C-alpha cells in the first residue's frame, strides 16, 4: 500500500474519533471505566490469591515427641520426617524454645501461662512441619504418627478445613467476578465499536458502491478500534496503577501484617492482559461489527 493511502487511513481514523465528538468521549470513558473496574478486580484477585497462599503456607502441624526423647536421634528423626510426601519444611523445636515461643505468642499478661509456668515447663520436644498444600495435612499427620518417638500429632484440623474451604471460596468468587467484569468490558468495547460503525452504515455502503474494497474501508475503523482499545486500556491501567500504589502505601502503614503484592509485580501481570485484551477487543470488535455492513 502506498504511503498516501496510509495517510488517508490515519486521517480518517482521527476524524472518526474527532467527529464523534462527545460521543467518542463517552464511548472512550465507558471503555476506560469498565476496563479500570476490571483492572481493580484483577488486582484484588491476584492479591487475594497471594494472601491465601501466604496464609496456607503459615499453617503448621506439630509432632510432639515422647517425653524422654533422646536428642542424639534428632537428625535421624528429621530425615524421616522430611521424607514424607508433601512435607515442605520441618523444624526441630526444643521444649525450652517451645515455652519461650508460647510466652511470646500469648503475651505476658496470660493468666493461663503464668499458672503453667509455676508448675515447671510442661512441654515436650517437638517437630514443626510445614505442608505444601493444606489438603494433605491429614495424610502427613498419619505418616508422622507412625514414626517412633512421636507421641502425638497436633494440628487444628477444623481450622485447616475451614481455611481451605475459605481460600477456595475466595478464589472462586474472585475468578467469577473477574470473568463477569471481563465479559462486561468486552461487551462494552464491542458494543461501542459496533454502534459507532452502525451510525456510519450508510457511508460504508456508499464507499463500497464507489469501488472501495473491504480492506480499504476496514483499515480506518481498525485503527480507530486500535486507538480506542489502546488508549482505553492505557488510561484504565493508569487509574488502577495510581489507585493501587496509593492503597499499597496505606496498607503498608496501617496493616503491615497484610501481605500485599508490590504494585510493579501485580501491574505487569494485569497490564499485559489489559493492553492485549483492550487492543484485541477494539480491533476485533471493529472487524466483527463491520462484516455485516460490508456485504454490499
Partner 1 sequence: MITLIGVSKVYRPRRVALLDVNVHIGKGEFVFLTGASGAGKSTFLRLLYREQTPTSGQVIVLGQDVARIPMRKVPYLRRQIGVVFQDYKLLSDKTVWDNVAFPLLVTEHPPREIARRVPAVLEQVGLLGYEKNRAGELSGGEQQRVALARSIVLNPAILLADEPTGNLDAGTARIIADLIQDIHRRGSTVVMATHSDWIVNRLRQRVIHLRHGRIVADEYPGRYVHEA
263, 241 Cβ separation under 8 angstroms? yes
Pattern 137-176, a second copy, x by CB under 8 A: ---------------x-x-x-----x--xx-xx---x--x
3-state secondary structure of 70: coil
> Using the rule CB under 8 A, is 70 a contact of partner 1?
no
Grid coordinates representing 240 are 488502577
Q: Residue 10 — φ and ψ, nearest 5°? A: -65, -45
> Using the rule CB under 8 A, is 279 a contact of a second copy?
no
Burial 68-89 (b: 16+ CB within 10 A, else e): ebeeeeeeebeebbeebebbee
Q: Quick one: which of 190, 226, 193, 200 has its CA closest to 294?
A: 200
The only residue of 142, 255, 265, 276 in contact with a second copy, by rule CB under 8 A: 255
Pattern 186-205, a second copy, x by CB under 8 A: -xx-xxx-xxx-xx------
Residue with smaller CB distance to a second copy, 83 or 159:
159
Residue 141 CB partners (closer than 8 Å, separation 6+): 61, 153, 155
> Using the rule CB under 8 A, is 212 a contact of partner 1?
yes
C-alpha angle 116/117/123, rounded to 5°? 75
3-state secondary structure of 199: coil
- By a kind-dependent CB cut-off of 5 to 8 A, residue 107 interacts, out of a second copy, partner 1, none, with a second copy
> Using the rule CB under 8 A, is 208 a contact of partner 1?
yes
Q: Which parts of 213-242 interact with partner 1 (CB under 8 A)?
A: 213-214, 216
Give the span between the Cα atoms of 222 and 227, in whole angstroms: 8
Residue with smaller CB distance to partner 1, 112 or 210:
210
C-beta neighbour count of 118 within 10 angstroms: 7
> Using the rule CB under 8 A, is 108 a contact of a second copy?
no
Least distance to partner 1, CB of residue 30, Å: 23
Give me Rg for the CA atoms of the chain: 30
Least distance to partner 1, CB of residue 211, Å: 4
Which residues bind to a second copy, rule: CB under 8 A?
22-23, 26-27, 29-30, 33-34, 36-37, 40-41, 44, 64, 102, 107, 109-112, 114-116, 118-119, 122-124, 152, 154, 156, 162, 165-166, 168-169, 173, 176-177, 180-181, 183-184, 187-188, 190-192, 194-196, 198-199, 243, 247, 250-251, 254-255, 257-258, 292
Amino acid at each position: 500500500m502506498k504511503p498516501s493511502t496510509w495517510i488517508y487511513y490515519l486521517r480518517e481514523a482521527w476524524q472518526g474519533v474527532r467527529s464523534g465528538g462527545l460521543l467518542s468521549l463517552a464511548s472512550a470513558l465507558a471503555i476506560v471505566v469498565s476496563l479500570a473496574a476490571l483492572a481493580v478486580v484483577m488486582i484484588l484477585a491476584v492479591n487475594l490469591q497471594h494472601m491465601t497462599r501466604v496464609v496456607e503456607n503459615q499453617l503448621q502441624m506439630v509432632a510432639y515427641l515422647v517425653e524422654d526423647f533422646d536428642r542424639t536421634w534428632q537428625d535421624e528423626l528429621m530425615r524421616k520426617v522430611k521424607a514424607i510426601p508433601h512435607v515442605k519444611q520441618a523444624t526441630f523445636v526444643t521444649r525450652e524454645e517451645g515455652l519461650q515461643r508460647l510466652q511470646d505468642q500469648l503475651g505476658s499478661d496470660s493468666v493461663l501461662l503464668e499458672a503453667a509456668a509455676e508448675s515447671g515447663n510442661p512441654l515436650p520436644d517437638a517437630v514443626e512441619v510445614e505442608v505444601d498444600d493444606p489438603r494433605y495435612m491429614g495424610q502427613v499427620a498419619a505418616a508422622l504418627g507412625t514414626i517412633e518417638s512421636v507421641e502425638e500429632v497436633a494440628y487444628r484440623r477444623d481450622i485447616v478445613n475451614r481455611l481451605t474451604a475459605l481460600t477456595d471460596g475466595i478464589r472462586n468468587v474472585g475468578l467469577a467476578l473477574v470473568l463477569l467484569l471481563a465479559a462486561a468490558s468486552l461487551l462494552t468495547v464491542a458494543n461501542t465499536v459496533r454502534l459507532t460503525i452502525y451510525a456510519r452504515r450508510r457511508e460504508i455502503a456508499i464507499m463500497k458502491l464507489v469501488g472501495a474494497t473491504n480492506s480499504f474501508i476496514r483499515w480506518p475503523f481498525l485503527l480507530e478500534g486500535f486507538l480506542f482499545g489502546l488508549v482505553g486500556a492505557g488510561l484504565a491501567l493508569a487509574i488502577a496503577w495510581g489507585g493501587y500504589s496509593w492503597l499499597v502505601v496505606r496498607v503498608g502503614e496501617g496493616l503491615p501484617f497484610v501481605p500485599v503484592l508490590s504494585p510493579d509485580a501485580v501491574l505487569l501481570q494485569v497490564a499485559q492482559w489489559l493492553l492485549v485484551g483492550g487492543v484485541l477487543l477494539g480491533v476485533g470488535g471493529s472487524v466483527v461489527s463491520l462484516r455485516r455492513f460490508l456485504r454490499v
